[in-house]
Structure 1
Amino acid sequence: MSQPDPAFEALLQHLKVSRGFDFTGYKRSSLIRRVDRRMSQVGVPDYAEYLDYLELHAEEFTALFNTILINVTGFFRDPEAWEYLRAEVLPALLATKGPTEPLRVWSAGCASGEEAYTLAIVLAEMLGTTEFRDRVKIYATDVDEEALTHARHGTYSDREVRGIPPELLEKYFEQTGGRFAFRKDLRRSVIFGRNDLVQDAPISRIDLLVCRNTLMYFNAETQARILTRFHFALSEPGVLFLGKAEMLLSHGALFLPIDLKRRTFRKAPRAAPQNGTLFADAPPPTGRPPLTGLDVLRNEAVLASPLAQVVVTDDGVIAVVNRQAEVLFGVSTRDVGRPFRDLELSYRPLELRRHIEKAQTERRTVRVTDVTYHRGPEAMNLEVQVSPLVGSGTEVLGVSVAFHDVTDFRRLQDELEQANRQLETAYEELQSTNEELETTNEELQSTVEELETTNEELQSTNEELETMNEELQSTNDELQTINDELQDRTGELDRTNDFLETILTSLRAGVVVVGTELHVQVWNHQAEELWGLRRDEAVGQHFLNLDIGLPLDLVRPVVRSTLAGEDGPQEVTLPAINRRGRSIDVRVIASPLRGDGGSVVGAILTMEESAGAEGAPAR
Structure 2
Amino acid sequence: MAADAQDVETDEELEGLLEFLRDARGFDFSGYKRSSLGRRIRKRMSDVGIDSYADYRDQLETNAGEFGALFNTILINVTSVFRDADAWTFLQREVVPELLAQVGGEEEIRVWSAGCSSGEEAYSLAIMFAEALGLEEALNRVKIYGTDVDDEALRDARSGLYPAKTLEPLAPELRDKYFEQNGSQYSFRSDLRRRVIFGRHDITRDAPISRLDLLVCRNTLMYFNVEAQTQIIDRFHFALREGGFLFLGKAEMLLNDSDRFDVMSMRQRVFRRRPGEASTPYQPVPVKMRQGFGLEVQSVTRNRQLRDLILDASPGAALAVDVDGIVVLINNHARVQFGLTANDIGRPFQDLEISYRPVELRSLIEQATHERRTLRVNGAERRVGDDVQYFDILIQPLVGSAGLPAATNITFTDVTVATQLKAEVKRVREDLETAYEELQSTNEELETTNEELQSSIEELETTNEELQSTNEELETTNEELQSGNEELETMNEEMRIRSEELDEARAFLEGVLTSIAAAVVVLDKSFKVKSWNRGATDLWGLRQDEVVDEPFFGLDFGLPTNELLATVEQCVKTRRRGATAVINAVNRLGRHITCTVQCSPFDGHRGGVVLLMEEGRSDGTE
Shorter-chain TM-score range: 0.3 to 0.5
Bigger Cα Rg:
1
